[in-house]
Chain A
């Protein structure tokens, strides 16, 4: 009797009688007999009790750090209890895509609310219902911007390397030529950008704050991009957006990013949330689902998936994106997170993260490290040191339950968020000082 199969062998036999066959394998009459699997080389079935024990044992092989000073694309922020409580409701977890609008208003309305919140956060006009993650959002943005005459895409070297690599992979598919604009002192080399953009430039992607945590001169860069007639795509940190000049204010045509900081666990990389917002003019170029408001036959307000003729199930080979399943439950979580935090809570999370990162930067400087780059930063920064020292610092911190910054080219990329305390930061600086004095 199969686990989760409710029909007993007796009932299965009754059903076979109705169908008019003797054995269930008779229904596989089109399968060439030699093709049937004899026995799979897999472990034997387990009871729930055994599965729990086995998987807990695997989880225990991971080290959960009490203190996390590592970001680089995945951030441990505070997640309100109400977020976990609501997002574990079975209906929300198990429902299908809301194609049957009459019985899916809860999901559709939540997406409409999420879209509104993302527009507020970024200042942009429209938002889609999500894509897989920040890296794929960046990659999809290229397709939004290219046309027959503008076929080249550009990305700053100061973007997250995994984002750049994902864009490159997508471009291997589409045939778009992707050029990386070099960095200068940790920021985008604006002169090099200006020189690179020609009449065939489709778009330029800038990350704000950039991979090294630095604030780019995003408005000025936007002007350079627009002067060349290209579209300006910004990849932004959603927590920073609560405080910093928004992509809209910097002239972005498309603003995307990794939505994981909005109430999602770091969870070894996923599931996360790629958010995509744009100006009204770019709305129809957005990939993926979009929810719109309408009314029913009685005039009651309701929500539906709209502008669907852009999508693969209708446009097939003429669609610009193949996305079908997205990250709906993650978008729901982000929407709920923003509702729980409110504008003041979002600003507070951003201010606390930024302030703690600056405190840590000062403490590490006192301990003997120096900052690799000058300039304004948000909640991440790089300290300069050789690889060996970086490794020693990481190991020493690990011993006391602190996940230190990430080793990057030329130093360590640190991150602080609202969840770390002054005491934890002081302790970190103390240990770094010890390592450096050896």
Chain B
């Protein structure tokens, strides 16, 4: 389809703004470069974007089992309430007296998240999960600096970790120590013991881990780090498996981030915005980014912690995302929250039980909210790789699982169905998976050629990267 720049005519435009009712002023020196923006009528504009949205796979288009991404249903009421003018029209620098509602949202959310995680304080400033990791690591850094323990420069990260973990550690100025996972996909306690020392600043871990298994040694793990003088950071990417069932604070973690756009049902927006609030135990609270919300006698105000690391972005974070998450929490309440986790785990185990009749599971044990299959065997036998199965799913209207992650599993497909999918849908999807498995053996060429029925077919990523064209050329 054409780009917006290739549509319309130079004299077309929308009629949006009035004539100037005060004397007109302009710059002494204006830009000499032309400003070549689209020039279309309103009708053409809406058709263009409708056409674009037809070429997007949303939650309403079908199953979305992206492992590690928690693509759950996004309730409409949350959208509606976040769009109230009483939230959207509030300037972030209004006085606290005129923004008590916004401060109440932040404070209520901070309190609720403390309860859900078993931690003592929260900041809602980080705008995404990775931003939260960076913030949490700076808290750990500030803690050690505060105690004049300057030798603690290393962060331990398992080799199964999300790429953001080591990248965040580097951004926070730490060196990264990668430790190998054991054969069960969990932390190898001996490797961990060998890695800790007086230079250990902390550990980053997600539990359940990226292969979908709850690490049964979790208390031993956090104890090893604490004994060595380090702190434990919980990557909340997989919280959906344990929401309301087990708390990171009770596992021994000192700080964590949550992804409101995963566990708390706020939409992903095609890649963002999300929100990555960070929580911590009391001894880290004095380092949190400012401002925090404080409540006294029903009145709210902003305060900055004593030894704050400083802000990690402007204003109070992705506020409107927080509103959506609060609506979600209010709806579920203490009664339903644990059912989120339980049904996420139930759905994943159900799909695993149905698929393991054909597919090879990377770890043959009950999983939590997601599981990883290895297509290494199928690949060797038929030449059909994880990528080909993924592309085959596209022609069935199913979004593929996460591919080639975690790195410790070869030809990995990672499936996370989420609690909001019905057995009926999962049965249909499992049937397709099983059909593709047979097709890999009987007609592999068909899978190599897939997809056939998408707006475009497999794209040449090598050509795109070798000679990058990253903007429209008007000339």
Contacts and interface: CB of A to CB of B under 8 A. Distances in A.
Interface residues of B, number: 198
Contact of B422 (A7, A62, A168): A7
B169 A169 contact: no
Contacts of A72: 93
Given A41-B115, A169-B138, A329 B270 contact: yes
Given A62-B86, A102-B451, A133-B127, 10 more contacts: A35-B247, A103-B399, A168-B310, A270-B127, A317-B169, A322-B133, A330-B272, A339-B40, A345-B16, A347-B35
A102 B397 CA distance: 11
A400 interface: no
Interface in B146-196: 162-164, 166-173, 176, 178
17 contacts: A12-B346, A21-B349, A26-B366, A37-B247, A43-B333, A51-B330, A59-B81, A103-B55, A113-B472, A134-B314, A268-B320, A301-B456, A303-B459, A315-B167, A316-B163, A322-B134, A425-B22
B214 interface: yes
Given A44-B333, A300-B456, A319-B170, A294 B90 contact: no
B388 to A, nearest CB: 13
B334 A40 contact: yes
B295 to A, nearest CB: 13
Interface residues of A, number: 202
Contacts of A44: 333-335
Interface in A353-410: 354-356, 358-359, 376, 378, 394, 398, 403, 406
A67 B80 CA distance: 24
B271 interface: yes
Given A5-B419, A291-B470, A330-B273, A37 B57 contact: no
A55 B330 contact: yes
Nearest to B7: A339
A248 B270 contact: no
Contacts of B272: 130, 271, 325-330
B150 to A, nearest CB: 12
Nearest to A358: B25
A73 B314 CA distance: 8
Given A70-B93, A102-B451, A340 B45 contact: yes
Contacts of A191: none
Nearest to B39: A342
B167 A322 contact: yes
Contacts of A14: 423
B35 A304 contact: no
Contacts of B320: 265, 267-268, 270-271
B253 interface: no
A403 B28 contact: no
A136 to B, nearest CB: 5
B130 interface: yes
A362 to B, nearest CB: 9
Contact of B52 (A45, A109, A301): A109
A258 B314 contact: yes
A319 to B, nearest CB: 4
Contact of B261 (A117, A241, A325): A325
A94 B81 contact: no
Contacts of B131: 132, 136, 322-323
Interface string A9-36: 0011011101111001111111110011
A144 interface: no
Contacts of A195: none
A314 B163 contact: yes
Contacts of A15: 346-347, 349-350, 423
Contacts of B32: 245, 249
Interface stretch (B100-108, B374-382, B437-445): B100-108
Given A109-B3, A317-B176, A48 B270 contact: no
Contacts, number: 679
Given A245-B31, A325-B129, A107 B169 contact: no
B75 A4 contact: yes
Contacts of B101: 58-62
B167 A319 contact: yes
A294 B273 CA distance: 27
A93 B269 contact: yes
Contacts of A301: 456
Contacts of B400: 100
B233 interface: no
Contacts of B349: 15, 19, 21, 27
Contact of B89 (A89, A169, A266): A266
B68 to A, nearest CB: 11
- Sorted nearest first, the 4 A-B pairs with minimum C-beta distance are A269-B315, A59-B86, A2-B339, A45-B333
Interface string A393-435: 0100010000100100000000000100110010000000000
A338 B333 contact: no
A127 interface: yes
Nearest to B348: A27
B323 interface: yes
Nearest to A49: B77
A183 interface: no
